[in-house]
Amino acid sequence: MLPYINIFGLEIPMYGLLIAIGTLIGFFILFKTSKYRGLTEDDSYYCAIWCAVGGLLGAKLLYIIVEFDELLADPAGFLSSIITGGLVFYGGLIGGILAGFIYVRVKKLSFLAIADTIIVPFTLIHAFGRVGCFFAGCCYGRVCDSFISVVYPAGSAAPAGVPVLPVQLMEAAFLICLFFYLFNELKKVKREGIVLGKYVIAYAIWRFILEYLRSDDRGAVGFLSTSQLISLLLLPLGIALLWYAKNREKHLTE
């Protein structure tokens, strides 16, 4: 659609621009939501930075794992393909959670409290990223001659001249709705871990279903895509976390 935008003579990738805008908005929201879990702005800010770095490394690592055979087929361009290649969302999610866990252990903070706080703006940032995917043409949907289908021009990551489902925008709409729901839950529910648990459950179910509508090359394990397999693994973890959060003794002070 519009993989690059020209600003004062500079060709800027729309995906990167939208991620940057989403991140700025996300940090603003993070500073506002920290109080709902009794955290300082500094704690939330620095943990979010750790999560961002861990997420980037995790997203790139899972991309390498998923595309390893294809990358290995071109030894000469192996390194450049890794640098310029894509990112895999679930790798970023897992990497970000692990990095955040390390940070809170070092700082002796509540992991569930800070995870509840960060996952809310993260959901909105993810929505901005999916809109960026739409403009870039990556993560495209199945061929479908429908009134909602879009046709990409030559030079896009998606096949040119073929009507495909705009699954990127479908996911962005879902994530925006999920953001508002989780934001309301963060303000209303005092038990730590409820917000994170609901996010994991909702996104795992959504992503598993959405994968049937995607057509881009994203790796497979048997008859499931890589993301579907991870969704199946995360769903029971999300349910267990929600049960634990609802039944644990500790409450936040009003």
pTM assigned to the model: 0.87
Residue 253, pLDDT score: 44
**Phi, psi angle pair for 237, to nearest 5°:** -65, -40
SS3 224: strand
11-44 pLDDT, tens digit each: 888 888 999 999 999 999 998 888 888 888 888 8
- Answer yes or no: is pLDDT of 86 > 80: no
Return the closest-CA partner of residue 215 out of 133, 139, 129: 139
The CA-to-CA distance between both ends of the chain, in Å, stands at: 49
Which among 72-86, 87-101, 237-251 has the top mean pLDDT? 87-101
The C-alpha atoms of residue 51 and residue 62 are separated, in whole angstroms, by 16
Output the CA angle 59-183-186, nearest 5 degrees.
Answer: 100
Q: Mean of the pLDDT values across residues 217-245? A: 92
SS3 189: coil
CB-based contact 104:114 (threshold 8 Å): yes
CB-based contact 46:163 (threshold 8 Å): no
